[in-house]
Chains A and B, each alone.
Chain A
Amino acid sequence: MELVQQLVNGISLGSIYALIALGYTMVYGIVKLINFAHGDVFMVGSFMGFYSITILDLSFFPALVLTMAACALFGVAIERIAYKPLRNATRIAALITAIGVSLLIEYGVIYFRGAQPEAYPGDVLPKETISLFGLSVSSQSIFILGVSVALMILLQFIVHKTKIGKAMRAVSHDADAARLMGINVNNTISATFAIGSALAGAAGVIFGTYYIKIEPLMGIIPGLKAFVAAVLGGIGIIPGAMVGGLLLGVIEALVSALGYSLWRDGAAFVVLILILIFLPSGLFGKNVREKV
Chain B
Amino acid sequence: MLRVEEINVYYGNIQALKDVSLEINQGEIVTLIGANGAGKSTLLKTISGLLKPKQGQVIYEGRNIAGKAAQAIVKMGISHVPEGRRVFANMTVEENLDLGAYLRKDKAGIREDAEKVYGLFPRLLERRKQHSGTLSGGEQQMLAMGRALMARPRLLVLDEPSMGLAPLLVKTIFRIIEEINAAGTTILLVEQNAHMALSIASRAYVLETGRVVLSGTPDELNASEKVKMAYLGGH
Contacts and interface: CB of A to CB of B under 8 A. Distances in A.
Interface of A: 163, 166-167, 169-170, 173-174, 176-184
Chain B contact-residue range equals 20 to 34
Contact of A180 (B82, B91, B95): B82
B123 interface: no
Nearest to B151: A182
B102 A163 contact: yes
A95 to B, nearest CB: 23
B1 interface: no
B42 interface: no
B199 interface: no
B88 A180 contact: no
A173 B70 CA distance: 17
Interface of B: 48-50, 69-71, 74-75, 79-80, 82, 86-91, 95, 98-100, 102-103, 147-148, 151
B96 to A, nearest CB: 9
Contacts of A166: 91, 95, 98-99, 102
B176 to A, nearest CB: 19
Given A180-B82, A182-B75, A169 B88 contact: yes
Given A182-B102, A182-B151, A176 B82 contact: yes
A169 to B, nearest CB: 6
Of A163, A167, A173, chain B has the most CB atoms within 10 Å of the CB of A173
A181 B147 contact: yes
Contact of B102 (A167, A173, A174, A176): A167
Nearest to B50: A176
Given A180-B79, A180-B82, A181-B102, A173 B90 contact: yes
Nearest to A183: B102
B95 A181 contact: no
13 contacts: A166-B91, A167-B99, A176-B82, A177-B86, A177-B87, A179-B49, A179-B70, A180-B74, A181-B103, A181-B151, A183-B71, A183-B99, A183-B102
Given A166-B98, A167-B102, A170-B99, A180 B50 contact: yes
Contacts of A178: 99
Contacts of B48: 180
Nearest to A172: B90
Contact of B88 (A163, A174, A184): A174
Nearest to A186: B69
Contacts of B90: 169, 173
Nearest to B103: A182
B71 A173 contact: no
Contacts of B95: 166
Contacts of B79: 180
Contacts of B69: 179, 184
B119 to A, nearest CB: 22
Contacts of A184: 69, 71
Given A167-B102, A169-B88, A174-B88, A181 B50 contact: no
B74 A181 contact: yes
B190 to A, nearest CB: 15
Contact of B70 (A163, A169, A180): A180
Given A181-B99, A181-B147, A169 B91 contact: yes
For the complex of A and B, the 10 pairs showing the least CB-CB separation, nearest first, are: A182-B74, A179-B70, A182-B103, A177-B86, A182-B71, A181-B102, A182-B102, A181-B99, A180-B80, A173-B88
A267 B71 CA distance: 47
